[in-house]
Amino acid sequence: MHLRKFAVAIALGVTLTGCAQPEPASVTPPDRSAVEAQISAAPPSPVAPAQPEWIELRSAESQTYMSSTVNPDGLYRDSSQVLNPVDERPAWWAESGLPGTDTEQTVVVVGHNYSTRDAPFRSLGVAQVGDIVVVRTATGTLEYGVESVGPLPKGSLLADNDLRAQVPGRLILANCDVRNGEPTGDNFFVVAQLAG
């Protein structure tokens, strides 16, 4: 499934903000270099729905290239329909589903991507189809297989399109898209499905 088909009928909706920074600086582009994993593999078992505590991106070969805590405060859109995480950590969108083996709703985690400083979700830009997203909650660990990656116009999270549909076991990661050191008018999405 390619993200471009979701671009149909994009309407004004939730956008991620705070991603462009005016101060000049040089930030190394994200890559897939190995980092230390903080989540141990767990045997498959039912995981009750719970807020995410930690998130990792891994290659298809299980090499971890992004590992981060998740902000413990659920994120809500503000009065201007904006999602703006309070710090560099990814944040679970509290209006979406809770990750768990029997969750019927799509789970959404958003984070910043700056043009002049580092943040964990900068790594979304190097995610590939076939990668693995590992989410740890207080009730267990879940693995999701990445099915699509790419940019979509800001506002897509609440637009009238397939991206907004409630799909059991689906996880969406999103940030502000930054290319060649410059912010674009898009958000970058990673769409994954619960494994097993």
Tell me which DSSP letter residue 55 carries.
E
In a domain, 91, yes or no: yes
Buried b (16+ CB within 10 A) or exposed e, 55-81: bbbbbeeeebbbbbebbeeebebeeee
Q: Between residues 146 and 11, which one has the greater pLDDT?
A: 146
Q: 23-35, pLDDT tens digit by residue?
A: 445 567 788 999 9
User: What is the domain extent for residue 176?
Assistant: 3-17+47-194
Please state, in angstroms and rounded to a whole number, the distance separating the CA atoms of residues 69 and 127: 18
CA-nearest of 57, 118, 65, 50 to 89 is 118
Buried b (16+ CB within 10 A) or exposed e, 124-135: bbbbebebbbbb
Task: Indicate whether 108 pLDDT > 50.
Answer: yes
Predicted pLDDT of residue 102: 93
Identify the CATH number of the domain in which residue 150 sits.
Answer: 2.40.260.10
Torsion of Cα atoms, 104 then 49 then 15 then 129, to 10°: -70
In a domain, 166, yes or no: yes
Stated pTM of the model? 0.83
Q: Between residues 19 and 72, which one has the greater pLDDT?
A: 72
In a domain, 68, yes or no: yes
In a domain, 40, yes or no: no
Please state, in angstroms and rounded to a whole number, the distance separating the CA atoms of residues 10 and 12: 7
* Length of the chain as a residue count: 196
Domain count, the chain: 1
Q: 111-147, pLDDT tens digit by residue?
A: 877 666 777 888 898 999 999 999 999 999 999 999 9
